[in-house]
Amino acid sequence: MTETAPLSETDERALMASIDRWLEKKVAPVAARLEQADEYPAELVADMCEMGLMGALIDPKYGGLGLPAVTYAKIVARISEEWMSLTGVFNSHLMMALIVQKFGTEAQKDHWLPLFATGALRGGVALTEPDAGTDLQAIRATARRVGDRYVINGAKMWITNAIEGDVLAVLAKTDPQAQPRHRGISLFIVQTREPAAGGDVQGVTRGRRLPKLGYRGVDTGEIAFSDCAVDADLALIGGEEGMGFVMATGGLELGRVNVAARGVGIARRALKEAVAYAQIRHTMGKPIAQHQAIQLKLGEMASKTRAAELLVEDAARAYDRGGRVDMEAGMAKWFATETAFEVATEAMRIHGAYGYSKEFPIERLYRDAPLLMIGEGTNEMQRIIIARQLIARNPV
């Protein structure tokens, strides 16, 4: 992976200002209603396509913005302050796109990336199965070569953009008997819908849109493949079998930076709401912000939020320098998401009964935060990854 140049301060400020205007004008007025109804934000997704967010990290020669991860993380954190679910729509899509950009053949890049950059085809990464989450080597989906095509069979679940999207990067076994297991796993770009025709391609069955505690609005669903045939040259990423596990785990690094940035956004908004409420809520003749018990909470919340910001920035800069960033991304993901949950919980306690009310944003932040500790690799796994990398980088 080559190093990504940073944006100029002026360009980044202008970009963030445009994001702020959109959030204020279009997102803030509807976020609570759409989230509570668990309604897909079709108009806002169209806006994100128009703003170029579907191509945020895609090379400009394919029509993308080519943003550095540092700027991308700032965008994710800012949008998450207003409504975290929106970031899932383009993050899953970009994980898929960057796998093609990093590992795909030239023909695959030329074919897929321009469509991904504009959002003409939107999708995500289909890794997880009912019995395969953290242990990706346990997948059961298969892909069998038949002439110039691969035939894919299997089911995936907990897939973002599975219902509303048009294409997925699907992890499947091309050699179920391979040892070690990862050598028999490949990754395929599978178009699930033909937008022009308006229907699903043959062999694709979309299942349930899964009901969730938080992260509502964005579709998280089940999808099944039954003798779904795909063009071998365009579908098998990199044109070589057995490389899918490496591609998928490498793609998760960006996902972890994204999820960590979401944690920063959740923590920031919860802290902001708590600081404001503590100054207007009075008990015993004074604002609760003047009570030492509340000050202790706010001091810790603010410090942890700032530490999370810096860890995410550190991970994003490491990503931009190129190479693997398992430890940096793991540190940011673990700390920022645990912080998001802690700060959202403390903000709810500061709000008292009002924090439990749907009239205030705190209850949504409180429901959104737990997902971050689970998604893109559990936080338990992140600590193991950090430790292993720490030892590997500091041999005795």
In Å, what is the CA distance from 152 to each residue of 93, 139, 163, 184? 21, 13, 18, 14
| CA atoms of 175 and 279, how far apart (whole Å) | 62
Among this protein's residues, is 50 annotated catalytic? no
List phi, psi (to 5°) of 303.
-65, -45
Q: Which residues contact 109 (CB under 8 A, 6 or more apart)?
A: 62, 100, 101
Using DSSP, state whether 230 is helix, strand or coil: strand
Amino acid identity of residue 31, one-letter, is: A
In Å, what is the CA distance from 379 to each residue of 107, 260, 313, 334, 384? 37, 11, 19, 5, 9
- Beta strand segments in 92-184, E: 123-126, 142-146, 149-160, 167-173
Closest CA to 123 of 178, 59, 204: 204
Say if CB 125 and CB 248 are below 8 A apart: yes
Length of the chain, please?
Answer: 396
| CA atoms of 179 and 4, how far apart (whole Å) | 36
Say if CB 243 and CB 319 are below 8 A apart: no
CB atoms < 10 A from the CB of 24, how many?
A: 11
Report angle CA 89, 117, 311 to the nearest 5 degrees: 55
171 beta partners? 187
| Options 35, 81, 376, 380, the catalytic residue | 376
Q: Which residues contact 13 (CB under 8 A, 6 or more apart)?
A: none
Point out the residues that are catalytic. 376
